[in-house]
Amino acid sequence: MNKIAKYNCIENLKKEGNPIIIVTLVEEAEAVLNSCRELGINVTAFCDSESRKTKDKFCGLDVVHTPALKKHYPDARFIIANPNIKDCSRQLSELGYDEIYSSLEILEKYDVNKHTHKWPVPYMAQKITVAKSTHSSYFDEKKTFLRSIDIMITTKCSMNCANCCNLMQFYVDAKNTDEKIIEAVDTLSSNVDYIGEFRIIGGEPLMNKDWWKIINNILEKDSNRKILVYTNGTICPKDEHLESFKGKNVNFYITDYGKLSKNVEKMEEGLKRYGIGYMRKPADNWVDCSNVRQHKRSVARLKQVFKECCAKTYYTLLNGRLYTCPFIANAANLKALPDNKADYVDLFSEKKENLKNRIRRLVNMDAFFPACDFCDGRPNDPTTAKEYAGKGFIKAAIQAPGKLPFKEYK
C-alpha cells in the first residue's frame, strides 16, 4: 500500500522551497530540530493538534495549531516527529498537504550525547529509539508492532482523582494484578514482532510492593526491553529497589501533582543517586474522558470518535487480556460495559494458532471497537473534535471523597 509519509527526505528538505514544519511537540521534536540544524535543514515552525500547546514558542520557533495550518502556510513541507506517524500523516493529507516525511532518516545518525535537551539524556535516548522503531514499522506492513504496552500491575492508587482516565475512581475492590503478568508479557512478546516500550502503570504502580521485582523479571527475559515507570510521586522508592535497576533500560515518568505528589523530591533525588533517567512533568489540565455511559452512536459517529482518539494505540495488558486502550481495559475489568470479545484478545484462552492473527487485527484496528460507544471520546483537542461528549479541559487531579458509582453489567 502507498504510504502518505515518505522516508527519503534529507536531500529534498535541504533545498530551498516551501516552509518546513515539525509535527507535534513530543519530546522527540527537539531532537528532530537539532538534527535538522546539523544537516543544514532550515525549519520554520512546529505544529500541534492541541491548541493549548501553541501559545508559547518551542525551542525558539512558533507553534501553529494543526487545524489552522492552511491559514498560516497554504503550502508546506512536514517532518513528523510524533511516533504516531500514521495518524499524523493522515491528518495532514486530509488538510490537503502532500509533502510529508518521516523523521526516521533525519534521526538515523543522531547522537543524543552531543546535544542539549530539555529532558535528561537517558530518557531522550529511549524516546528516540522507540520513535525510530515506530517509524520503521510504518514502512514495514508485514510486521505487528506495538509502540508501547501499558502493563497494569495494580488497580490501587494512592490518589483518587475524580476524573482519572484509567477509571481508578470506580474500583471499590482495587487489587494488584501481578499473578500471571510475566507469562502474559512473554505470550504477547512472542506473538508480535516488536514492542517499543514496556510501560509499568496502575493506578500507582508503586502501590504494588513487588513493582520492582516485576520490572526485573520483565528485563530478565530480555535485557533489551525498555521500561518506563509511570508514577504520581506519592511513594518514595527504596534505595535497594532503585539500585536493582542500575545500568538497565529503566526510566521514570513522574507526573507532578504539586502538594499531592508528596514524595516527588525524594523520588527525584533517589533516581539521580542511581543514575536512572526520568522525566518530571506538571500535571497540566486534562481532557475529560472519565465517564462510562452508552451513547448509541451510529457507525459513522463511532468511526469519527475512534479517528479523533489520541489513546487508541495505548495498548494495555490487564489480567491476561490485551486491549487497545486503558479505557476499554478498565471499563471491561470493572464490568462497566457488556462483555464483547471484539474488544480484546485473551492471551490465555485464545487458541495458540489464532493468537498472532487476533493480536494483529486488534493492533491494526482502523474503524472502532464496540466499547468506544461507552466512551465520551479522547481527542487531542476537545475544542475542535467533532465527536466528543466529555466536559472538555478540566483541572487535573481533583480528588473524589470516595469511590464513584457506575452501572455494572453482570
CA nearest neighbour of 249 among 130, 145, 115, 153:
130
165 CB contacts (<8 Å, ≥6 apart)? 286, 289, 290, 311, 326, 327, 378
Closer to ligand SF4 by CB, 159 or 236: give it: 159
Q: To the nearest whole angstrom, how small is the minimum distance from the Cβ of residue 306 to ligand SF4?
A: 5
Q: Among residues 125, 161, 184, 318, which is the contact residue for ligand SF4, using CB under 6 A?
A: 161
Long-range CB pairs of 322-325 (<8 Å, 24+ gap) are 322/149, 322/188, 322/347, 322/359, 322/362, 324/362, 324/363, 324/365, 324/369, 325/378
Query: What angle separates helix 121-138 from helix 28-39, to the nearest 10 degrees?
Result: 80
- Span 223-242, contacts to ligand SF4 by CB under 6 A: 232
Q: Among residues 377, 381, 382, 390, which is the contact residue for ligand SF4, using CB under 6 A?
A: 377
Closer to ligand SF4 by CB, 202 or 320: give it: 202
Q: Among residues 65, 117, 127, 378, which is the contact residue for ligand SF4, using CB under 6 A?
A: 378
Q: The cell 502501590 sits on which residue?
A: 207
If one asks whether residue 200 binds ligand SF4 (CB under 6 A), the answer comes out as no
Q: Are 204 and 157 in contact (CB under 8 A)?
A: yes
Closer to ligand SF4 by CB, 49 or 166: give it: 166
Closer to ligand SF4 by CB, 51 or 324: give it: 324
Q: Are 192 and 145 in contact (CB under 8 A)?
A: yes
If one asks whether residue 203 binds ligand SF4 (CB under 6 A), the answer comes out as yes
If one asks whether residue 207 binds ligand SF4 (CB under 6 A), the answer comes out as no
Q: The cell 524516546 sits on which residue?
A: 127
If one asks whether residue 267 binds ligand SF4 (CB under 6 A), the answer comes out as no
Q: The cell 529534498 sits on which residue?
A: 12
Q: To the nearest whole angstrom, how small is the minimum distance from the Cβ of residue 231 to ligand SF4?
A: 9
If one asks whether residue 106 binds ligand SF4 (CB under 6 A), the answer comes out as no
What's the chain's Rg over C-alpha atoms?
21
**Of the listed pieces 1-9, 54-62, 181-189, 323-331, which binds ligand SF4 according to CB under 6 A?**
323-331
Q: The cell 508501547 sits on which residue?
A: 148
Closer to ligand SF4 by CB, 25 or 336: give it: 336
Q: The cell 516552509 sits on which residue?
A: 19
Q: Among residues 153, 371, 385, 404, which is the contact residue for ligand SF4, using CB under 6 A?
A: 371
User: How many positions of this chain bind ligand SF4 (CB under 6 A)?
Assistant: 27
CA nearest neighbour of 154 among 169, 176, 185, 178:
176
Q: Among residues 81, 151, 345, 375, which is the contact residue for ligand SF4, using CB under 6 A?
A: 375
Residue type, 30: E
- Span 301-320, contacts to ligand SF4 by CB under 6 A: 305-306, 309, 311-312
Q: Among residues 46, 327, 344, 388, which is the contact residue for ligand SF4, using CB under 6 A?
A: 327
Sheet holding 344-346, edge to edge: 277-282, 250-256, 227-231, 198-201, 149-152, 316-318, 321-323, 344-346
Q: Among residues 184, 355, 397, 404, which is the contact residue for ligand SF4, using CB under 6 A?
A: 397
Cα distance from N-terminal residue to C-terminal residue, the chain = 43
If one asks whether residue 329 binds ligand SF4 (CB under 6 A), the answer comes out as no
Closer to ligand SF4 by CB, 21 or 289: give it: 289
Instruction: For residue 25, give the DSSP letter.
Output: -
Q: Dmax of the chain from CA atoms?
A: 63
Closer to ligand SF4 by CB, 95 or 394: give it: 394
If one asks whether residue 390 binds ligand SF4 (CB under 6 A), the answer comes out as no
- List interacting residues with ligand SF4 (CB under 6 A): 157, 159-161, 164, 166, 168, 202-204, 232, 305-306, 309, 311-312, 324-325, 327-328, 369, 371-372, 375, 377-378, 397
